[in-house]
Structure 1
């Protein structure tokens, strides 16, 4: 997985108490000075925080520990989390590879995928709309794999659903919209915000890995199966 995506998921596990990982942060009391910490939630209303002596002034850690005995002690905690946009770009990359795995080279023969490839090469630029990623996507297993959104007609696209997990963490489900081969599909992603709140129709396809060898044009066959008036 993409390193930004891994760190983002680990951070979610640490903050929600769904995995064994910690997030790095900086803590400070009113008069104790700052020091580096590792933080995680272990249960609802319960958390763990450890000072990192090798990256901190030990005196600040000791003063902070002593101050915790005071009932009215207040402290600040800064948790610089990974960039969620870079993490979502990692999810788009995963969906792209899954689509290629099941749909074969026919999926790649699509001029609208050029913007994705450019975004992969230039992750610092904001080119591909992050709204195309639904994460988490809390829907049943029926949608796992390759789908096509067919309604509304101007939102027609491939929709790839998959599970993702950091080591020993919670399994989370993602749904990613990828452009189809129509001339106007790239425009659909520019207008993504206008689709908020709409009811959509998702068509699922059960595809075996071997199918792409038998049907090199499988991607276009699936695309033309639904919403043919828009193709």
Structure 2
């Protein structure tokens, strides 16, 4: 008890240091928790690593796209692939090549019951060194996914595969994302300012 009181007193004297230390601890717990939870879900068969190709026609529906045999060709500026994986999806990797090096948005939408697809339920990809793109979905995302492959007509996409729930190397679980680092830098500082202002106001009174 005495040690806790000592730590509390030190935290009150140096709120910024204490809050940043708390933020680092929470981030570490989050990273470890994600690793442990994914391993449990893989072991339980909830997360299943599968690969979808154009031959698996029962698992997808093309909207404003045509399969010409040589690739997928967009017919409008809203070309979509609706994916029906039949399983919980935590990660998705798109393996595709755009003819002529066309640059297109490759947004992935998920939906929740009674919400449908909206811009608020959207994930952007991370480009990989091998030319593929990886998406990480929230744990609460629904199973119905919409992949927007092209934002203009006449784009040819040579889609090789869509890999679902690909296992990550264990060390990648412990690399914070850019957003996590941003919040780690911002939130403790803002909270520290609030604590300091409140304390100074109390002293003035």
TM exceeds 0.5? Answer: no
TM superposition score normalised by structure 1: 0.23
The structure showing larger relative contact order (alpha-carbon pairs under 8 Å, at least 6 residues apart) is 2
Q: Provide TM-score, normalisation by structure 2.
A: 0.25
